[in-house]
Structure 1
Amino acid sequence: MNAISHSGIREAIRARIVAGEWKLGELIPGEADFAEEYGCSRTTVNRALQALADEGIVERKRKGGTRVRPLPLPPAQLRIPLLREQVEESGAGYRCEIRERKLASVPADLRGRLKLGRGDRAVYLETLHLADDRPFAFETRWVNLATVPEFEHAEFGDLSANEWLVRRVPFTRGEVAISASAATADVAAILGATEGAALFTMERTTWLDDRPVTAMTLIYAAGYRLEFTI
């Protein structure tokens, strides 16, 4: 039987990271462990892990092992936690439902943010995030296929689209706008709110270097409170 190649090991480890086998920032097995598991040399594993490090999927430190790359945390800047983290830290169980997913033309007001022209298409998603099966937040998102072509046919498993993107395409910078928006009839029905109620709303655009990755709007259910440290 032919030994597995370093590229095969790279893709196998990548798939396990995307599937959430290890959390962001978590130490993954060492070269000797992977070599034994895949029946190959440590040199082959080293090449695979270095390729993942070059892609920004993992980070490696001498004598410190290899970790799944955590979210970028620039000094003195706000870290916005994943929705799963927010829900689970409150003691509730997290779940998400994709209500709509399609390939569509990007609205005029988003073309500039995503560097797309008239008629260019992107993936559009609507996702409901739940805490103990109660509405927590409603998300609309556009993903630029010029930056993340594999997103079009991606399978998320139990991950949200945001978690999938963070694991697959760690962003290098982002812009965030926070406001209160009046709940439309549709949003009010989804979140169990009163139509016209002021709901905490976050708009975010992220980039990988100079390439736009995604633009999203997140509307939280009534009573949401954002807490963070600086």
Structure 2
Amino acid sequence: MATFRAIKEEMERRIAAREWEPGAMIPAEEELAREFGSARATVNRALQELARAGVVERKRKAGTRVSLHPVREARFVIPLVRQEIEAEGAEYRYALLSREMERAPDLVRARLGVEGELLHLRCLHLANGAPFQFEDRWINPAAVPGALEESFAGISPNEWLVRNSPFSQADFSFRAARASRSEAEILGLPEGEAVFIAERATFIGDAPVTLVRLVHPPGYVLRTSL
């Protein structure tokens, strides 16, 4: 019985070899299950993986077609800042700047879709004593009640959430901007210096978990893979 991974790889081979040409219908799940000697659910999982990668297009009651213009999927892994820094051979240090329960600004509440007070944390990550990343984070205590009991004095919210709070969906945004006065002071930069900003909102089901704004000084490089 073929595994879903073996089925997926064979489908990818057929598409790459133009045995299944762009726009062509792929055989039905029942037919593929018989061919591979596997359960229909196994075939369905393989097709779902290919659909997420943009290789095939699936429509209810219309079947599955090879994509005319396949879109490769870039996968962003949420990194531990400590590991990023130590992987470069630098010494990692973390400082908690503030920890408050407060009403979030309108933009944060709109992005997360929540009202009421959130846990607001401001932190600095350092590499060999130099500022590496300023972390400005809001945590929804309704989704992560354990965060209210954590001081975050000895562990960053980045590490704590990776260990303690699963999520099912994440929205990312990246942009270049100029450092605000407070960001410049924290990072030791002139006000208005160009910085790299990454924002990430995570959810568990429909419940928002956290929204974080990560500000990096010049020289930071973001890497991913296809």
TM-score (norm. length: structure 2): 0.65
**Counterpart-to-counterpart distance in 2, 1:173 and 1:143:** 15
The aligned residue for residue 85 of structure 2 is 87
Alpha-carbon contact 2:119-2:141 (below 8 Å) kept:
yes
CA deviations 1:65-113 (Å, max 9, x no partner) are: xxxxxxxxx9742223221111011101112111000000111111122
Deviates more, 1:187-196 or 1:156-165: 156-165
**Counterpart-to-counterpart distance in 2, 1:100 and 1:90:** 27
Instruction: State which of 185, 189, 203 in structure 2 corresponds to 1:189.
Output: 185
Gaps of 5+ in 2: 1-51, 54-72
User: 3-state DSSP class of the match of 1:223?
Assistant: coil
The aligned residue for residue 16 of structure 1 is none
1:158 Cα shift? 3.5
Q: What amino acid is aligned across from residue 95 of structure 2 in structure 1?
A: E
Q: How is 1:1-16 mapped onto 2 (pairs within 5 angstroms)?
A: none
State whether structure 2 residue 166 is matched by structure 1 residue 179: no
Bigger-Rg structure (1/2): 2
Q: How is 1:1-230 mapped onto 2 (pairs within 5 angstroms)?
A: 76=73, 77-117=75-115, 120-156=116-152, 158-230=154-226
Alpha-carbon contact 1:103-1:123 (below 8 Å) kept:
yes
Q: How many residues align?
A: 155
Gaps of 5+ in 1: 1-73
User: 3-state DSSP class of the match of 2:176?
Assistant: strand
**Counterpart-to-counterpart distance in 1, 2:202 and 2:165:** 10
**Counterpart-to-counterpart distance in 2, 1:165 and 1:206:** 11
Alpha-carbon contact 2:179-2:192 (below 8 Å) kept:
yes
User: 3-state DSSP class of the match of 2:159?
Assistant: helix
Q: What amino acid is aligned across from residue 93 of structure 1 in structure 2?
A: E
Name the CA shift for 1:229/1:175 in 2 (closer, same or farther; >3 Å). Answer: same
The aligned residue for residue 56 of structure 1 is none
Percent of aligned pairs with the same amino acid: 39
TM-score (norm. length: structure 1): 0.64
Alpha-carbon contact 1:95-1:133 (below 8 Å) kept:
yes
Deviates more, 1:125-134 or 1:80-89: 80-89
Backbone CA RMSD of aligned residues: 1.6
CA deviations 1:117-164 (Å, max 9, x no partner) are: 2xx001001000111121001011100011011211214464210110
| Large movers: runs of 4+ above 3 Å | 155-158
Q: What amino acid is aligned across from residue 219 of structure 2 in structure 1?
A: G
1:199 Cα shift? 0.3
